[in-house]
Amino acid sequence: MRRLAVICARKGSKGVPGKNLRMLGGIPMIAHTIHQAQACGRIHALAVSSDSDEILSVAEGYGVKHLVKRPDHLATDEASKVPAIRHCLQEVEKSEEQFDYIADLDCTVPFRLTSDIDSAFAQIEQAGVSSLISGTRARKLPYFNIVELNSEGHVRISKPTNPPLVRRQDSPECFDMNASIHIWQRKTLISSDSRFQDDTILYEMPFERSIDIDSEIEFVINELLMKKFGLI
């Protein structure tokens, strides 16, 4: 089996401007994911896809061999991430043998472990399914304490049951997607833009390794966690 890891890092970010290169624990945020991927023995090649020459230059400085300049039409706020990953795969395969599995490692989840990447690959390969996503147990549940507004502006439980649940412990298991790891079989990534297939499975991660930095408060939380665990 040949495995490619892709790190996508656009230059634009509305929630945390410049977050992919923002210093976190003494290094650019993207460097945490680069180090994790480089330490994973299952990965045969690592690529960074970006519309930013600066991001690609920083990635090169951290030893990334495959630097893929993302076309403008794949780097807009409206563009889906999957075609960008597919484009990156196709560019890398111009100089590499064909890959069997492709992982998207989001650089905004810096607390993943190399063992998470290794275990996720092992899980999807053992299961033989089309794709895998990572997630953490949801703290709010659509069957119990997530609500939505109807057309009249009135509050309703998002997924009502009959009879209604009176204890959150009786809810079906729910998970928050944490954006940390997404793995596809090559044929699935090539043929589908969907994040989910009929046989997609979940790799579960704990909450403390699942904080996706998409706002200033989440950046602060990650900094505090690093200080708590002696990482900075």
Using pLDDT thresholds of 50, 70 and 90, give the confidence band for residue 25: confident
Q: Which of 166-170, 188-192, 205-209, 218-222 has the highest mean pLDDT?
A: 188-192
Using pLDDT thresholds of 50, 70 and 90, give the confidence band for residue 177: very high
Domains within the chain, CATH numbers bracketed? 3-135+176-228 (3.90.550.10), 139-173 (no CATH)
For the chain, how many residues are written? 232
pLDDT tens for 92-101 read 999 999 999 9
Q: Are strands 27-28 and 45-50 parallel, antiparallel or unpaired?
A: unpaired
Partner residues linked to 156 by β-bridges = 148
Q: Is the dihedral of CA 171, 119, 92, 109 positive or negative?
A: positive
Please tell me the predicted confidence (pLDDT) of residue 232: 58
Amino acid found at 15: G
Please tell me the predicted confidence (pLDDT) of residue 229: 73
How many angstroms separate the CA atoms of 138 and 171, rounded? 11
| Model confidence, pTM | 0.92
